[in-house]
């Protein structure tokens, strides 16, 4: 009787430095027959929700993970029987009683997969690294055991095989942090994992442990304890039990999504690292408000017009479209514009690459498409990173102002409130005008208030006298 070959589909490199995904829902069940490229599950990363297509055809014989569980890159997702692997994929079928050396081979492949991910591999969701450079190797056949007594040369080989796994295990990079995503988060937040009291199973440091350690706890100045400082006296359980209880029955309790957890890490880092300052001004947008309906059959949105004015002003104030990396300020040729967007999953900042090259019409079309894709959850991770300046039109929610948080590691974020008809003095006469408030939050390490104010004033002048820039928009 011939047993059908089992193929194990492992979570592929998701790109953009993503090393973990949360299983949202299965789209197949055990016993279903699937074809190549058929969507088998939805997973949520820190940036978007994506479907996983199967690289195999055959019958589903096992599903790994329950909805809500986390999967690391390289871990099994599902198993398919009854079909051969596509070109470049290896078979993960294992005979009963697999030896430790074979388990070590799995570990080696997983480490190779993670090494490739850290190096910025192009083997992303589609393709699964089937090229020769993918880092996922075919398993070599297991050598047969000798039938007779082990001779000197054979014994040396046997000793090498048994000694290899312990040698690799005795020097892990961080023994208490098994998830590469947690290691990266700790590194990005400057958290010393050795000073964290782990709460995960088997003494693992979890993502929540790192986020709690990153929250400033040393008094009103809001500074994070220096690396290496002993933070175990303020371990998470102790702080939680000391919280006063409201005396109300809980209506619900649920874990924050990966998007919110990733965003919270960015917020914490922004508030703890950036000495931010804010300048704001009320702007008379009456002329622009009147002019916009006459700008074609489908007039551009107010956000598109504002974006164009901002991009023109950034040409004269490039520091505000830079990034702080360690002790260096990096400026760029051009601007990748991030646009804060409200979605069912929460706040997202999709990016328009080289927005400085776009006209108002191009900005308008791109912004509309970007917002639709963001709300539908269909944006690839690459479109949710790499911004160098962020625009936030919170006026769409009917509010006038906001204390925005800079999108780390950017230098500034510009917000605009609702355009509201208000009494305004023009040439000594009180008259109704369309007024909006602009608010610029900037990194005071990069520039002073004068530089930021001149940028903001240039944007204001463009809004108040749009015809003066008509040839440039």
Spatial contact of 433 and 421, defined as CB atoms under 8 Å apart? yes
Q: First vs last Cα of the chain: how many Å apart?
A: 73
DSSP string, 200-217: SGGGPPPHHHHHHHHS--
Helix (H) or strand (E) holding 264: helix 258-273
CB atoms within 10 A of CB 95: 8
Tokens of 220: 């009103």
| Residue among 70, 64, 60, 61 nearest 10 (CA) | 64
Cα R_g (the chain), whole angstroms:
28
Edge-to-edge strand ranges of the sheet holding 6-10: 6-10, 76-81, 58-63, 33-34
Q: Which of 393, 390, 383 is nearest to 437 (CA)?
A: 393
Give backbone dihedrals phi and psi of 242, rounded to 5 degrees, phi first. Answer: -85, -10
Neighbours of 264 (CB within 10 A): 14
Q: Is 113 a catalytic residue?
A: no
Catalytic residue among 113, 260, 408, 444: 444
The answer to whether the CB of 44 falls within 8 A of the CB of 258 is yes
| Lookup: tokens for 184 | 């990266």
Which residues are identified as catalytic? 444
């Amino acid at each position: 009787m011939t047993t059908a070959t089992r193929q194990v589909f492992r979570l592929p490199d998701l790109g953009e430095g993503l090393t973990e995904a949360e299983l949202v829902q299965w789209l197949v069940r055990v016993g279903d027959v699937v074809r190549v490229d058929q969507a088998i599950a939805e997973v949520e990363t820190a940036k978007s929700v994506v479907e996983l297509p199967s690289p195999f055809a055959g019958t589903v014989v096992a599903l790994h993970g329950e909805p809500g569980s986390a999967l690391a890159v390289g871990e099994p997702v599902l198993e398919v029987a009854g079909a051969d692997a596509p070109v470049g994929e290896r078979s993960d079928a294992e005979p009963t009683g697999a030896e430790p050396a074979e388990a070590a081979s799995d570990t080696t492949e997983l480490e190779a997969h993670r090494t490739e991910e850290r190096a910025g591999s192009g083997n992303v969701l589609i393709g699964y690294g089937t090229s020769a450079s993918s880092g996922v190797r075919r398993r070599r056949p297991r050598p047969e055991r000798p039938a007779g007594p082990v001779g000197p040369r054979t014994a040396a080989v046997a000793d090498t095989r048994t000694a290899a796994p312990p040698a690799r295990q005795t020097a892990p990079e961080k023994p208490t942090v098994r998830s590469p995503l947690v290691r990266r988060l700790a590194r990005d937040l400057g958290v010393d994992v050795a000073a964290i009291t782990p709460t995960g199973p088997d003494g693992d440091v979890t993502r929540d442990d790192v986020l709690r350690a990153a929250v400033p706890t040393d008094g009103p100045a809001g500074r994070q304890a220096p690396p290496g400082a002993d933070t175990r006296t303020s371990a998470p359980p102790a702080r939680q039990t000391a919280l006063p209880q409201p005396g109300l029955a809980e209506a619900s309790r649920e874990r924050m999504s990966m998007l919110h957890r990733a965003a919270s890490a960015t917020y914490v880092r922004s508030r703890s690292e950036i000495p931010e300052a804010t300048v704001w001004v009320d702007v008379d947008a009456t002329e622009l408000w009147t002019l916009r309906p006459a700008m074609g059959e489908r007039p551009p949105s107010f956000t598109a017009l504002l974006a164009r004015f901002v991009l023109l002003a950034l040409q004269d104030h490039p520091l505000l479209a830079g990034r702080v990396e360690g002790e260096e300020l990096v400026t760029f040729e051009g601007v990748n514009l991030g646009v804060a967007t409200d979605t069912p999953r929460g706040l997202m900042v999709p990016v328009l690459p080289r927005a400085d090259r776009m006209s108002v019409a191009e900005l308008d079309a791109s912004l509309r498409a970007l917002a639709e894709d963001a709300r539908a959850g269909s944006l690839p991770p690459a479109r949710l990173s790499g911004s160098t300046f962020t625009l936030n039109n919170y006026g769409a929610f009917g509010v006038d102002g906001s204390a925005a948080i800079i999108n780390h590691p950017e230098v500034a974020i510009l917000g605009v409130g609702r355009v509201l008809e208000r009494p305004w003095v023009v040439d000594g006469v009180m008259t109704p005008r369309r007024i909006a408030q602009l608010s610029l939050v900037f990194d005071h390490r990069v520039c002073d208030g004068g530089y930021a104010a001149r940028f903001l004033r240039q944007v204001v002048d463009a809004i108040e006298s749009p015809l003066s820039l008509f040839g440039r928009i």
